[in-house]
Structure formats: structure tokens, C-alpha cells
Amino acid sequence: MSFLVGGLTAVAGVFLHLSYPPAGLILALAGTAATFWSIGRSYGKLHFKFTALLGWVVVIIDATTYGDGGELLVQGDRAGMTFLASAFTIVLISVFLPVKD
């Protein structure tokens, strides 16, 4: 379940980061942080956050490379690179935050 939630979070972030600049980027980053924080609080285990991270990374890699259809969802412009760097930092910080006791 956490793999699916991580992937859906990445999908939402990919589609939101270019909509209504800069509010879409801020909403995508806030949603990403809230999702990974809530996974840790809900399940209470670190490996669930790593599983969500794996789902998130799979979607991000697919969105940043040309697939079979040749569509690039996160481009190398300022908005795309800001989204990738900020979201990756937020995800790593959220994953390594302590989980509930």
C-alpha cells in the first residue's frame, strides 16, 4: 500500500508542479512532505517509508525520461529542476525523520 501511495504522490507532484506557478510547485512539495510524514506516523515503521520512496522514485524516473510514447513530463527548465531538487530533498528528510514510538 505504501508503494502505491508513494507512486501516487509522485504522479500528483509531476502534474501539479507546472500548474499555476508557483502555487502548483508549493502545493506539490507540501503534499509530498505531508504524505511521507503521514506514512511514518500511520505505520510506525521505517521500512514502509522506504517502500513509499521506492514507488516515488519509480514514477519520477519514468516522468523525467523519454518512455515508449516519447513524452517528457518533467523538463530540464527552472520549474522542473526546482521540483526535482526540492522534492528529492524533502522526501529524504521525511524518510529519515523519526517514526512514532
Residues 37-63: pLDDT tens digits?
Answer: 999 888 888 899 999 999 999 999 999
C-alpha–C-alpha distance, residues 58 and 10, integer Å: 9
Candidates 76, 8, 69; CA nearest to 39 is: 8
The pTM (predicted TM-score) of the whole model is 0.89
* 70 φ/ψ sector (left φ>0, alpha ψ -120 to 50, else beta): left
Cα(96)–Cα(72) distance, integer angstroms:
30
Q: Residues 84-97: pLDDT tens digits?
A: 999 999 999 988 88
Write down the domain spans for the chain: 2-96
Please confirm whether the linkage preceding 21 is cis (ω < 30° from 0).
no
